[in-house]
Structure 1
Amino acid sequence: MEAGDVALLACPACAGTLVFHGQQEEGRLSWGWLRCGGCGEAWPVKRGLARLYREESVRGTDRLMRVIYDGLPALHDPLTKVLTPLLQSVTESKMRAGYIRRLELGALRPSEDGAPLRILEVGVGAGANLPLIRRELGAGQEVQVWGVDLSEGMLGRCQHRLRKGSYPGVRLMMADGHSLPFPSGMFDRVLSVGGIGGYRDPAAGLRELARVAKPGTPVVVVDEQMDAAHRPSLLQRAAFRAITFYTRDAHCPRELLPSRATDVLEEQVSPFFYCLRFRMPKLAVVPVTG
Structure 2
Amino acid sequence: MGDVALLACPACRGTLVFHGQEDEGCVAWGWLRCGGCAEAWPVKRGLARLFREDAVRGTDRLMRAIYDGLPALHDPLTTVLTPLLQFVSEAKMRAAYLRRMELGTLRSSPDGMPLRVLEVGVGAGANLPLIRRELVSGQEVEVWGVDLSEGMLGRCQARLRKGSYPDVRLMMADGHSLPFPEGMFDRVLSVGGIGAYRDPAKGLRELARVAKPGTPVVVVDEQLDLARQPSLLQRAAFRAITFYTRDAHCPRELLPSLATDVLEEQVSPFFYCLRFRMRELRATAVTG
Q: TM-score, normalised by structure 1?
A: 0.97
- Give SS of 2:228's match: coil
Structure 1 counterpart of 2:57: 59
Which residue does the alignment assign to 2:4? 6
Distance in 2 of aligned mates of 1:18 and 1:102: 33
- Which residue in 2 is equivalent to 1:220? 218
Partner amino acid, structure 2, of 1:229:
A
Query: Given the alignment, which residue of 107, 113, 116 partners 2:114?
Result: 116
RMSD across aligned positions (CA) = 1.1
1:87-236 to structure 2, matched below 5 A, reads 87-236=85-234
Q: 1:22-101 to 2 correspondence within 5 Å?
A: 22-101=20-99
Taking a change above 3 Å as real, the CA distance of residues 287 and 261 of structure 1, as seen in their structure-2 partners, is closer
Question: How many correspondences in the alignment?
Answer: 287
CA drift of 1:8 comes to 0.1
Structure 1 residue aligned with 2:13: 15
Partner Cα separation in structure 2 for residue 279 and residue 147 of structure 1: 20
Please give the TM-score of this superposition, normalised by the length of structure 2: 0.98
Cα shift at 1:285: 2.7
Residues 72-113 of structure 1: per-residue CA shift (max 9 Å, x gap):
000000000000000000000000000000000000000111
Residue of structure 2 equivalent to 1:285: 284
- What per-residue deviation string (whole Å, max 9, x for no partner) do you get for residues 147-206 of structure 1? 000000000000010011111200000000000000000000000000000000000000
**Distance in 1 separating the partners of 2:130 and 2:85:** 23
Task: Return the offset for 1:288.
Answer: 6.0
Per the alignment, residue 247 of structure 1 pairs with 245
Taking the aligned partners of 2:23 and 2:147, their CA distance within structure 1 comes to: 22
Deviation at 1:230, TM superposition (A): 1.3
CA distance in 1, matches of 2:138, 2:22: 29
In structure 2, the gaps of 5 or more residues are none
Q: CA deviation at 1:286?
A: 6.4
Distance apart, 1:228 and its partner CA = 2.3
Q: 1:87 to 1:286 in 2, by over 3 A?
A: closer
Instruction: State the distance in 1 between where 2:29 and 2:97 align.
Output: 36
Match of 2:272 among 271, 274, 278: 274
Percent of aligned positions with the same letter in both sequences?
A: 85
Q: Is the alpha carbon distance of 1:231 and 1:6 closer, same or farther for their aligned partners in structure 2, counting shifts above 3 Å? A: same
Helix, strand or coil at the partner of 1:220:
strand
Residue 208 of structure 1: CA displacement? 0.1
**2:235 matched residue in structure 1:** 237
Unaligned runs of 5+ in 1: none
Question: Using the alignment, how far apart are the partners of 1:40 and 1:106 within structure 2?
Answer: 41
SS in 1 for 2:138: coil
What amino acid is aligned across from residue 54 of structure 1 in structure 2?
R
Superposed displacement of residue 217, structure 1: 0.1
**Alpha-carbon separation, structure 1, partners of 2:29 and 2:118:** 24
Between 136-145 and 96-105, the greater mean CA deviation after superposition:
136-145
Q: Secondary structure at the match of 1:267?
A: strand
**What is the deviation of 1:140?**
2.0
Cα distance between partner residues in 2 of 1:71 and 1:112: 45
Q: Which amino acid aligns with 1:44?
A: P
Q: Greater CA deviation, 253-262 or 226-235?
A: 226-235
Deviation at 1:287, TM superposition (A): 8.6
Deviations 1:5-29 (A, max 9, x none): 0000000000000000000011010
In 2, the alpha carbon distance for the partners of 1:211 and 1:285 equals 16
